[in-house]
Amino acid sequence: MKKISVYRPTTIEEAQQMLSMHGTDAAVYAGGTDLLIRLKNRLKQAPAYLVDIKKINNLRYIKEDAQGGVQIGALTKLAEIAESDLLAKKYPMLVQAVKMISSPELRNASTLGGDLLQEVWCQYLRGGYACWRNGGYICYGAIGDNSYYHSAMGGRLCYAVYPGDAAPALITLDAKVKLATPSGAKELTIEQLVPGDMMVDGRIQSHVVRFNEILTEVVIPPPKAGFRASFEKLRPRGVWDFAMASASLGLQLRDRTIEDARVVFGGIAGRPWREKSVEDFLKGKTLSTDLAAQAPTNALSNAAPLKYNATKIDMAKGLLMSGLEKLATS
Amino acid sequence: MSQTQRPRTPKRKIEAGLHSAIIVNQPMVRNFSTGGGHSPGDTLVEGDEKIVTKKWQGYPPENLNVVGKPQPPLAEVAIPRYTGKAEYATRISFPNMLFAKLLTSPHPRARVRKLDATKAAQMPGVAYILSAQNAPKTYPFPEELFFQGSIVAIVAAETEDLAEDAVEAIDVDYEVLPFASSLSQIMSGNAPDLSQGRGQRRGNTAPSVVQYGDVEKAFQDADIIKEFTYYYAGGVVAPLQPCGSVAKWDGDKVTVWGHGQGIYPPRAIIARGLGIDPKNVRFINKWNGGTFGGVRQASEKFYPWVAYIAKMTGRPVKLTLTKDQELAHMQVKPENIQKFKVGAKKDGRIVVCQREYFVNNGERSGGGGGNGGRSELYLHVVPNWKEIGHDYRTNSMTIGASRSNMQQEFKFGWEQMMDEMAEAVGMDPVQFRLLNVQKPGTKVSLASGGPTMAPVPEIENGFLTYDSFASVEVMEEGMKAIGWDKRNSVPGGNPGRVKRGFGVAMSQHHAGRVGYHEGEVGFERVVKRGGADVYESEIELNADGNIILRFAQPDSGTNHGTGIAMAIAEILGFTNLRHIRLLWGDSDLAPPAPGWNSGLTTQLQGGALCTAADKLRKDLLNRASELLKVDIGRLQIRDAVISSKDDTKKAVTFAALARSNEGRVIRQHASCCHPGAIGRAMNRGIGACFVEVEVDTWTGNWRFIRAAYCHDTGNVINPLLAEADMNGSLVQSSQVATEAIPWDREFPGTRHFSVGYLSYRLPTIMDVPEQTQVFVNSLEPRWYFGTKGFAETAIGAPPGAIANAIYNACGVRIREHPITKEKIMAGLKAKAGRA
Amino acid sequence: MMRYSRRNFLKAAGAGITLTAIEGESLFAAVAPPPPTPITKERATFIINGKPLVAEYEARTTLWEVIAVKLGLTGTTRSCNRASCGACSVLIDGTPFYSCHTLAMEAAGKKIFTIEGLGDEKNLHPLQKVGYLYMAADCGFCTAGWSVTAKALLDKNLNPSADEVKSALAGHICRCAAYSAIVRTVVDTAAVLRGEAEII
């Protein structure tokens, strides 16, 4: 792989100093499961300086807070999330979603922070083509072979889909994140964290974290009584692969009446796609299999498929129906 | 209160055994189409020349102690796989070894205008850079970079990383040339001429035509006529082991550890490439992490350069290709289009079949209908037939064997066509095939059998007749095994969201792969004709009483050494394998032989060894007869002891016989040859695949639930190994149906393979179906114990079976490969739109 | 006259130039700490199958290369080199990781378990014996990888169901598709280790 120099700070401040020194030549290094692919493929955009934050204390934990919510340190491994009894009890859908990410060995190395902030998997970027994310000024996916890794909901500069599964699940749970910045701690919703296709520090990223900022924590508010959630992911194989489409659903129920809803699609757009039209449709309705059949009708009506990826929309709708059906019949 | 003594539960026994396999034995004595029963001691007389063959080569399939029993492979071959000691070329390591990496062309077609490696040569750890400028004249680099990934330079350095750093620093000025990589490109009006000056237009060899009967008239007589078009995008079965090799010199002699399917052929390539005597090349390849036919281009091609760099640097050199570079060189299953026009009668008989096919041959020039010409199955049962073949040379990888050659990629279309015709006629697809498929007694003419036929001595009146051939049985048994009676014949007819479906397809391989051994008329003919693939072997009985088998073949997980050892053991009267040893995979240890492919190893290499064992058996009996003063007819052999049937105290051991011979060893040598094309007489293999799938009509998701994979096995020597091998065959054949080579559909000539098996997905533990193997022992009368090769008989069937099953489940027919969830979803949506 | 900024100072200090105040001007901010030096190569001890082994490597060198190339423990194979196949799995402190996708420096000083630690031909582990009987390895190239992952599973759970075995081994590709035999091997090896089954 490309040559790298690795820093091992023991405090956030040290880490920020190192990141500042090198600007966009440096990057935070945690599990490295995304980063190492880019280094092995010798992408121009891959950093020469790695700031290994794993020696910093207190970034790896899963703990219940005073209100009954949960705080997850950004360096918590996906495997730890998948095996957490606390999370299984409070947010079973999150655990279910995380278990569908990559493979067991990768989940042992990958961190929650890394998963949220991962680079896209567009075959042109990963293949080293000089696109918006790799030193160029073009998106090959928009005009290329775009059945899997590209957005069916439009784009501006970069059309690659946001590939992660944790973010859609966490949006459904109204989670927030904390960033350590030079001007102090900042709090964002997940949607604010990964708005997709953003120009930050002179380059296109899916997230808003700047070169000298570090994601430190994910906070999930306490689960409410009557909240039920589902997560469905459609992919070519039963492990490893990214979502062709995914659907995270959260329903706040009083008996069978839906008081509030969260509907977030993954794998179909440059960001986790929260479909408010379906959320509005569901609010006030009675959860039933009939409702499940009706829900997709007006979903994703402003889809903007590319040449090869129109079925992402149909799959997403099918998953929506499937998720609602599951919640209606369980 | 005292504890009562609990009776100990007996421990469950862990032992080798079949998991899910059904073995169907056909009777040994029955009316074969070639006449008469096949009793031991009989001869088979065939052809215009009345060629005489001893039935079963004198070794009938009865009273067997070893052949037919499931047992683990020979420990010396298998145990190293579990301990991390199997010597794949990737595990060969030497101190002071250099690591080689490739610079390959990024363009679909180009030339190197200028290459400047001066900066790269000065980089840390770089020992040598090889390119067109300094490659040996006996083995130059390609002048034209004919496809993306073509070799431009090889860098050898202290580590892989340092080599790759230098590769990046080589400055190349490419002249990009007009290219055509896909069928649509090469068939378009403005495609460049890639024909290599053979006088044909744009790399298209003149169409090949094969026909018999009167096709035009037959279409007039047909009751139902349908036309279908199928498209296959290209596939490959990449093995897990990365392609590569290691070369090390010792004075004038070089040893190369390789990755492929032969020992002597690569040795010859290395010798020619270096311009040295083959005696100065030792080629070693004992274990492979799979080869599946395709690595010849991706590993073998590079051996002379690796050896050359090792010579120039005076150090061992190891080359390992990255996965994307490997794909650029590995033989692949070709992109192809097949257009069928088929006519049938109301009663289901196909009376005319016309097929026009277009094949993307990649870098290799096409050859008269050879590629894509593997019709088989229905040939000569259907009375009128015409095939028009168009082969195109394109800027793409060479095509060839990739877990079979010309099977899955064409039967994808063939076997969907059969299902679609069955539907048009209103017949069950199994019954439709049984009506139209070749059976024992079907005669195929040399003229129209295409490359499936060769002018062998057993030809009668220009025809060969199908003989032991279990086409009916593989279908009937398969129906039972899968539970075909549960199939709903209405496509998409089952209620509910998740719908199950059943599908079937057949396949046949030109193999069967029985050859001729020395002493047979066929052997003399083929060897005299020249250019024959002759497999030599040696068998040795040493003073310890052990039998050593020497054969120059690698083992790619095929475990054919064990199958062969079992046949030898049977011939020599052993009841187990304890006294059999192998010396294999090393040109210093075994006599010359060609490489192996398509299910012929046990038959041809094994056939040579069986013939040698037969010679040894007779030799030992003669010696014992003389020593014991007992008539040969009154002697018996069992577990290395020859004794008199009338007085077992009159006995001598194998070991004693060896010890009393000169040199304390008794050797026999024998040869066996390839019949010159693809199979002696008509001992073909045939197979079928039955599958059950499930489709989620809401999302297009589908699941492969079960398969019954049915094979005409002749006489399966080791059902445990066969079951394991065939399990893999089904999964790989399914994968080439659901994945296509990752060509870019908008930027032709470009592949995307940068994230390993995420870019080209191999089935995981979560994706594979339950399987049942069905082995039908049809008993081939011309070969030892009735065996025939069956590694690739059913292998072409899974893609068509899966497509047919998905159609049966949800009414979506996918005629355009690959079979994907997206296509199922799109098809379901289209159907819903029409509803 | 050079304008002092914190950035300039750090850069200059990195180049070895010492700056002093000129004519009463005070240096910008207090004296900054010396700039950190990143690791580009190091030398460390790896405890592999109980044995301490020393290797020198670059920051970018993967654990696979240290194990299988530098230290000569060639049992651990490597196939895709992109974390997509599992051939290269090893245990680090008892947890499976893809060694091709782990920087060597991550595993320095840690306990590593490879196929060589499982058993050899003189002393086969039940996983290897049962695998041999069940044909869990056709070509064997993936075997070292799933074997260590299976060992990690059995160390935690001596009674895994077939589904649990599949979940644990999901990150391993077997090209020869010996999956069914692999699952049965792990399930039945557990039975042997529990004392409920014996190998014939």
Interface of B with A in 684-703 (CB under 8 A): 696, 698-701
What is the DSSP track for B143-196?
SEE-STT-EEEEEEESSHHHHHHHHHH-EEEEEE-----SHHHHTSTT----ST
Confidence of residue B366 (pLDDT cuts 50, 70, 90): very low
Helix, strand, coil shares, percent, chain B, to 5: 30, 25, 45
CB A175 within 8 A of CB A190: yes
**Closest to A120 in 3D by CA, of A137, A96, A97, A141:** A141
B583/A contact by beta carbon, under 8 A = no
Look at B744 and A240 and tell me if their CB atoms are within 8 Å: no
Q: Is residue A30 part of a domain?
A: no
pLDDT at B82 over 60: yes
| Interior angle at CA B144, CA B143 and CA B146, nearest 5 | 140
- Name the closest residue on chain C to residue B326, using Cα atoms: C80
Structure tokens, A327: 């919640």
User: CA-CA distance, B63 to B89, in Å (whole number)?
Assistant: 41
User: CA-CA distance, B523 to B534, in Å (whole number)?
Assistant: 9
Closest-CA distance of chain B to residue A239, Å: 7
User: CA-CA distance, B256 to B244, in Å (whole number)?
Assistant: 11
Structure tokens, B794: 């059913």
| Chain A residues in contact with C103 (beta carbon < 8 A) | 6, 32, 36
pLDDT block averages, 10 residues each, chain A of length 330: 98 95 96 98 98 97 97 98 98 98 98 98 98 97 97 97 98 98 96 97 96 98 97 98 98 97 98 98 98 95 97 98 96
C162/B contact by beta carbon, under 8 A = no
- Name the closest residue on chain A to residue C145, using Cα atoms: A105
C134/B contact by beta carbon, under 8 A = yes
Mean pLDDT computed over B235-239: 93
Mean pLDDT computed over every residue of chain C: 89
- Name the closest residue on chain A to residue B766, using Cα atoms: A238
Out of B12, B322, B764, name the one closest to residue C170 (CB).
B764
- Name the closest residue on chain A to residue C62, using Cα atoms: A1
Which amino acid is residue B717, in one-letter code?
I
| Chain B residues in contact with A237 (beta carbon < 8 A) | 761, 763-764, 766-767
C190/B contact by beta carbon, under 8 A = no
Structure tokens, A254: 């009083």
A108/C contact by beta carbon, under 8 A = yes
Distance of CA B675 to the CA centre of its chain: 17
Least confident residue range of A185-189, B444-448, B542-546: B444-448
C interface test, pick of A103, A110, A237 with most C CB neighbours within 10 Å: A103
Q: Is residue A270 part of a domain?
A: yes
For chain C, the three-class secondary structure string (H helix, E strand, C coil) is CCCCCHHHHHHHHHCCCCCCCCCCCCCCCCCCCCCCCCECEEEEEEEECCEEEEEEEECCCEHHHHHHHHCCCCCCCCCCCCCCCCCCEEEECCEEEEHHHCEHHHHCCCEEECHHHCCECCECCHHHHHHHHHCCCCCCCCHHHHHHHHHHHHHHCCCCCHHHHHHHCCCCCCCCCCHHHHHHHHHHHHHHHCCCEEEC
User: CA-CA distance, B220 to B345, in Å (whole number)?
Assistant: 11
Question: What are the distances in angstroms from CA C133 to CA A51, B566, C175, C182?
Answer: 48, 17, 19, 11
Burial class of residue B367 in the structure, from the number of CB atoms within 10 Å of its CB (0-12 exposed, 13-18 middle, 19+ buried): middle
B749/A contact by beta carbon, under 8 A = no
CB C99 within 8 A of CB C108: no
| Chain B residues in contact with A1 (beta carbon < 8 A) | 161, 164
pLDDT at C7 over 50: no
Confidence of residue B603 (pLDDT cuts 50, 70, 90): confident
CA dihedral sign of residues C22, C27, C30, C34: negative
Number of domains in chain A: 1
Look at B765 and C138 and tell me if their CB atoms are within 8 Å: no
pLDDT at C3 over 60: no
Confidence of residue B414 (pLDDT cuts 50, 70, 90): very high
* pLDDT number for residue B452: 61
Closest-CA distance of chain C to residue B731, Å: 6
Mean pLDDT computed over B380-402: 91
Sheet strands (E) in B564-647: 580-584, 635-638, 641-644
**CATH number of the domain bearing residue A294:** 3.30.390.50
* pLDDT number for residue C19: 43
Strands B98-104 and B317-320: parallel
| Chain A residues in contact with B123 (beta carbon < 8 A) | none
Residue that wins the pLDDT comparison between B93 and B27: B93
User: CA-CA distance, B429 to B431, in Å (whole number)?
Assistant: 6
CB A142 within 8 A of CB A73: no
Look at A123 and B765 and tell me if their CB atoms are within 8 Å: no
Question: H-type helices in A59-187, by residue range?
Answer: 78-82, 85-90, 92-99, 104-109, 112-116, 123-126, 140-143, 166-172
* pLDDT number for residue B371: 52
Out of B82, B762, B768, name the one closest to residue C137 (CB).
B82
Question: What are the distances in angstroms from CA A50 to CA A31, A54, B461?
Answer: 11, 11, 77
**Per-residue b or e along B199-220, where b marks 16 or more CB atoms closer than 10 Å to that residue's CB:** ebebbbbebbebebbebeebbe
| Chain B residues in contact with C142 (beta carbon < 8 A) | 240, 289
Domain span holding position A309: 227-329
Q: Is residue A255 part of a domain?
A: yes
CB B205 within 8 A of CB B366: yes
Mean pLDDT computed over B269-293: 97
Mean pLDDT computed over every residue of chain A: 97
Q: Is residue A315 part of a domain?
A: yes
In this predicted model, what pLDDT tens digit does every residue of A201-225 receive, in sequence order?
999 999 999 999 999 999 999 999 9
A298/C contact by beta carbon, under 8 A = no
CA dihedral sign of residues C62, C66, C67, C73: positive
In this predicted model, what pLDDT tens digit does every residue of B292-345 receive, in sequence order?
987 878 999 999 999 999 999 999 999 999 999 999 999 999 999 999 999 999
pLDDT at C17 over 50: no
Structure tokens, C28: 């910008």
Q: Is residue A306 part of a domain?
A: yes
Look at C84 and A40 and tell me if their CB atoms are within 8 Å: no
Question: Residues, chain A, total?
Answer: 330
Confidence of residue B202 (pLDDT cuts 50, 70, 90): low
Look at C137 and B765 and tell me if their CB atoms are within 8 Å: no
Mean pLDDT computed over B346-374: 79
For chains A and C, CB pairs below 8 A equal 84
Q: Is residue A15 part of a domain?
A: no
C179/B contact by beta carbon, under 8 A = yes
Confidence of residue C18 (pLDDT cuts 50, 70, 90): very low
Structure tokens, C39: 């690791």
**Closest to A54 in 3D by CA, of A102, A4, A114, A107:** A114
Mean pLDDT computed over B784-806: 94
Look at C85 and B731 and tell me if their CB atoms are within 8 Å: no
Residues of C near A (Cβ–Cβ under 8 Å) read 10, 35-36, 38-40, 58-60, 62, 81-84, 86, 89, 95-98, 101-103, 105, 149, 167-171
| Chain C residues in contact with A103 (beta carbon < 8 A) | 83, 86, 170-171
Look at A315 and B822 and tell me if their CB atoms are within 8 Å: yes
Confidence of residue C8 (pLDDT cuts 50, 70, 90): very low
Q: Is residue A278 part of a domain?
A: yes
Look at B165 and A239 and tell me if their CB atoms are within 8 Å: no
B322/C contact by beta carbon, under 8 A = yes
Interface of A with B in 133-152 (CB under 8 A): 140, 143-145, 147
- Name the closest residue on chain A to residue C8, using Cα atoms: A21
* pLDDT number for residue A320: 98
Mean pLDDT computed over C179-191: 98
For chain B, the C-alpha Rg in angstroms (whole number) is: 28
Burial class of residue B146 in the structure, from the number of CB atoms within 10 Å of its CB (0-12 exposed, 13-18 middle, 19+ buried): buried
CB B335 within 8 A of CB B234: yes
Q: Is residue A318 part of a domain?
A: yes
Question: What are the distances in angstroms from CA B541 to CA A79, B74, B414, B654?
Answer: 57, 18, 50, 8
CB B817 within 8 A of CB B334: no
Residue that wins the pLDDT comparison between B835 and A19: A19
pLDDT at C24 over 60: no
A244/B contact by beta carbon, under 8 A = yes
B827/A contact by beta carbon, under 8 A = no
Question: B719-738 and B408-425 are packed helices; what angle lies between their axes, rounded to 10 degrees?
Answer: 80
3-state secondary structure of B115: strand
* pLDDT number for residue A235: 98
Confidence of residue C11 (pLDDT cuts 50, 70, 90): very low
Least confident residue range of B42-56, B90-104, B357-371, B636-650: B357-371
A89/B contact by beta carbon, under 8 A = no
B752/C contact by beta carbon, under 8 A = no
In this predicted model, what pLDDT tens digit does every residue of B452-503 receive, in sequence order?
667 778 888 888 888 888 999 999 999 999 999 999 999 999 999 999 999 9
Question: What are the distances in angstroms from CA C147 to CA A275, B81, B704, C131?
Answer: 44, 11, 26, 9
ipTM of the complex: 0.97
Question: What percent of chain B is predicted at pLDDT more than 90?
Answer: 76
* pLDDT number for residue B154: 98
Out of B72, B80, B86, name the one closest to residue C133 (CB).
B72
Closest-CA distance of chain B to residue A241, Å: 7
Mean pLDDT computed over every residue of chain B: 92
3-state secondary structure of B795: coil
Q: Which residues, in sequence order, are CB contacts of C58 under 8 Å at separation 6+? A: A3, B161, C40, C41
In this predicted model, what pLDDT tens digit does every residue of A157-205 receive, in sequence order?
999 999 999 999 999 999 999 999 999 999 999 999 999 999 999 999 9
Mean pLDDT computed over C176-197: 98
* pLDDT number for residue B679: 53
Whether the bond between B818 and the residue before it is cis, its omega within 30 degrees of 0, is yes
pLDDT at C16 over 60: no
In this predicted model, what pLDDT tens digit does every residue of C76-100 receive, in sequence order?
999 999 999 999 999 999 999 999 9
Look at C143 and B82 and tell me if their CB atoms are within 8 Å: yes
